[in-house]
Chain A
Amino acid sequence: MTMPPAEIKLPNPVRSAFDKPLHDGTVTVNIGPSHPATHGTVQIIAELDGERVLRTDVHCGYLHRGFEKECESHTWHNLIPYVDRLNYVSALINDFAYCEAVEKLMGIEITPRTRYLRTLLSEYSRIVDHLTCVAAGLMELGAMTAFLYLVMVRDYMYEHIADLTGARVTYSYGRIGGLARDLPETWLARLAEILDKYEMFIGRVHGLMDRNRIFIDRMRNVGVISTAEAINWGYTGPILRSTGAPRDLRKDAPYLAYAELDFEVPVGIKGDNYDRYYVRMREMDESVHMIRQLMDMLPDGPINVDDRRCVFPEKRLVYDEIESLINHFKLVMDGPQVPAGDVYLAHESPNGELGFYIVSTGEGIPYKVHARAPSFVHMGGVHRMLDGYQLADIVPTFGSVNMIGGECDR
Chain B
Amino acid sequence: MAFNPQIGTDGKLKHLLTIEGLPMEVLLHVLDTAKSFMSVTAQEVKKVPLLRGKAIFNLFFEPSTRTRTTFEIAAKRLSADVVNLNIATSSQTKGETLLDTVANLTAMHADMFIVRHSQSGAAHLIARHVGPGIHVINAGDGRHAHPTQALLDMFTIRHYKGGFNRLRVAIVGDILHSRVARSEIHALTTLGVPEVRVIGPRTLLPRQVEKLGVQVYHDMAVGLEDVDVIIMLRLQQERMSGALLPSAGEFFKSYGLTPEKLARARADAIVMHPGPMNRGIEIDSAVADGRQSVILPQVTFGIAVRMAVMSILAGN
Indicate, yes or no, whether A interacts with B: no
